[in-house]
Amino acid sequence: MSKAEFAPEATARLIEQGNRRALARAITLVESAHPDHRQQAMALLAALLKDRQAIRIGLSGTPGVGKSTFIESFGLHLVGSGLKVAVLAVDPSSARSGGSILGDKTRMDQLSRHPGAYIRPSPSQTHLGGVARRTREATSLCEAAGFDVVLIETVGVGQSETMVAEMADLFVLLLAPAGGDELQGVKRGIMEMADLILINKADGDLKSAATRTCADYAGALRLLRKRSQDSEDFPKALTVSALEGAGLRQSWEEMQALVAWRREKGVWARTRASQNAFWFNAELRHALLTRLEHDPEAAEASRQLQQAIHAGDIAPSLAAERVVDIFLRPKA
């Protein structure tokens, strides 16, 4: 989109009317790091209606747990009930692996062809912070486009769960059936983020293992249930079979129950407010550092001081203060 022809208001209206092509182009725009595109993206986000809210569901699970199959089945269940569903992804590895979710899209064959669904491949940027910031803006675009549910998938690498939790209303952890010992394998931090733990593959030979695993997690969750803001019933563990479609309706009912409870108690609004504060701080850090990087005098000072550090003439902390002094001094 060239600078001249981009009309934020008109684009915003197209997105709100459900124009998929406008939505896709807008997501590409928010994903771009080009300064002109950032300006356009911000104008577009400012022009959008803010009164539409989707249920944003963060979804994490280790590879092999059947996440694509789950998204396909669960997504089809939702669109089958007349809901509009968008699927986004925070996948910091996609830059390296060549975009794993593109593969997912072909695997989510039925869902991707359903008119009520929209599946967006993960942006291929190497920097997790960048991917997450843009995915959050893509989520806002999907909300304005009238989607009822936005599923935000993460591959569970590094801090991606934390990032996704900061943009989701609910966090779902998908796990495979396992022996009791493997309970330790799930990082405690992720357990603590989860509102709902779904043990997938509760079918065929694995059905009894899934039931046992579910009971193990239910026990572990009782110990973690300390979050005073939550209802007494959550976090909760359930078994599902993405393959056979079992447990999907119940999972969705549980999610809706939690959403209703959180809306009633004001938790929903408080969470969104604190998430906005989190992203404002992240954007602030990013914006400031971008300005520093583009300041020619600071860049030159930085180059010279790095040599002085290398020669052992100055400590990194003192050199950093000097660069900041140069960056912030009034320009002629």
- Number of residues in contact with its own copies, rule: CB under 8 A? 47
Looking from the CA of 98 toward its CB, the CA atoms found within 13 Å total: 1
Binding mask 247-286 for its own copies (x = CB under 8 A): --------------------------x--xx-xx-xxxxx
Rank residues 58 and 116 by Cβ distance to its own copies and give the closer one: 58
The CA distance from 296 to 302, in Å, is 10
Rank residues 175 and 240 by Cβ distance to its own copies and give the closer one: 175
Q: Which stretch binds its own copies (CB under 8 A): 8-16, 40-48, 74-82, 209-217?
A: 40-48
From candidates 72, 91, 137, 169, binder to its own copies by CB under 8 A: 137
Backbone phi, psi, residue 145, to 5°: -75, 0
The CA distance from 194 to 15, in Å, is 31
User: Quick check: 297 binds its own copies (CB under 8 A)?
Assistant: no
Residues 6+ apart with CB under 8 A from 270: 229
User: Quick check: 291 binds its own copies (CB under 8 A)?
Assistant: yes
Q: Which stretch binds its own copies (CB under 8 A): 43-51, 77-85, 98-106, 203-211?
A: 43-51
The DSSP symbol for 330 reads: P
Output the CA–CA distances (angstroms, integers) from residue 197 to 54, 67, 87, 154, 258, in the order listed.
21, 13, 19, 15, 13
User: Quick check: 236 binds its own copies (CB under 8 A)?
Assistant: no
From candidates 140, 154, 200, 213, binder to its own copies by CB under 8 A: 140
The region, left, alpha or beta by phi > 0 then psi within -120 to 50, assigned to residue 204 is: left
Q: Is 30 helix (H, G, I), strand (E, B) or coil?
A: helix
Could you say which residues in the range 168-197 bind its own copies, by CB under 8 A? 185
**What is the number of other CB atoms lying within 10 angstroms of the CB of residue 50?**
10
Minimal distance in Å, beta carbon 319 to its own copies?
A: 6
Minimal distance in Å, beta carbon 202 to its own copies?
A: 24
Rank residues 21 and 310 by Cβ distance to its own copies and give the closer one: 310
**CB distance 175 to 198 below 8 Å:** yes
Nearest to 169, CA basis, from 273, 271, 94, 309: 271
User: Quick check: 36 binds its own copies (CB under 8 A)?
Assistant: no
User: Quick check: 318 binds its own copies (CB under 8 A)?
Assistant: yes
Minimal distance in Å, beta carbon 20 to its own copies?
A: 22
Minimal distance in Å, beta carbon 38 to its own copies?
A: 8
**What is the number of other CB atoms lying within 10 angstroms of the CB of residue 324?**
13
Q: Is 271 helix (H, G, I), strand (E, B) or coil?
A: helix
User: Quick check: 310 binds its own copies (CB under 8 A)?
Assistant: yes
Minimal distance in Å, beta carbon 306 to its own copies?
A: 6
From candidates 5, 51, 109, 205, binder to its own copies by CB under 8 A: 51
**What is the number of other CB atoms lying within 10 angstroms of the CB of residue 237?**
21
**What is the number of other CB atoms lying within 10 angstroms of the CB of residue 28?**
16
Q: Is 223 helix (H, G, I), strand (E, B) or coil?
A: helix
Residue ranges that bind its own copies, judged by CB under 8 A: 38, 41-42, 45-46, 50-51, 133, 137, 140, 185, 273, 276-277, 279-280, 282-289, 291-292, 302, 305-306, 309-310, 312-321, 323-324, 327-328, 330-331
